[in-house]
Amino acid sequence: MRHAGRSGCPINQAVEALGDHWTLLVLRDIVFGGRRHFRELLAGSQEGIASNILADRLRRLVDDGMLTREDAGRGRRATYSLTESSIALVPVFAVLGAWGLRHRETTEELAVRARLLEEGGPAMWEDFMAELRVTHLGAPAPAHPREPVVERLRAAREAARDAAAS
């Protein structure tokens, strides 16, 4: 796990770990897209990440302790899982998305997730992080009667996609 940076400043350390846009987008696609295999990440990249860049970012994220990689054996695809430090980025993604909604041009289909997370606030973020811990870390399922956040995000995006198509 790499921790050495140019300085011990917490902002510097975060920027050095997450500073290029591809790293954040790869994490975004794992967190929100449920993509856990190289081919899924490559094919699902709306921004068109190149395979060599994706391979490099996945390797860096594993080296930095942000992802784990489980090999399924020769000729089988590896599965990437979030670690606790990556799951803890959910509030950062929510705030970045809210900033993007206010200060950048977005499409409704892609903005719906940011809007839902902003409206849901910290309680929704905590629920979502608990769900990610179940999927990626094997934690016990949270006991709450609400619809899972991942399903609410998926349904909202599908509704926006359908509205845009009509």
pLDDT at site 5: 65
pLDDT digits (tens, 9 = 90+) for 10-19: 878 788 878 7
pLDDT at site 82: 98
User: Residue type for 125, please?
Assistant: W
Q: What is the mean pLDDT of the chain?
A: 88
pLDDT digits (tens, 9 = 90+) for 3-40: 566 777 887 878 887 878 899 999 999 999 999 999 99
What's the pLDDT band for 66 if we cut at 50, 70, 90?
Answer: very high
pLDDT at site 89: 95
What's the pLDDT band for 80 if we cut at 50, 70, 90?
Answer: very high
The closest alpha carbon to 40, from 84, 79, 93, 87, belongs to 79
pLDDT at site 25: 93
Domains annotated for the chain, with CATH where assigned, are 10-83 (1.10.10.10), 89-165 (no CATH)
From the centroid of its chain, how far is CA 110? 14
Q: Are 158 and 116 a contacting pair, CB within 8 Å?
A: no
The closest alpha carbon to 82, from 18, 21, 26, 151, belongs to 26
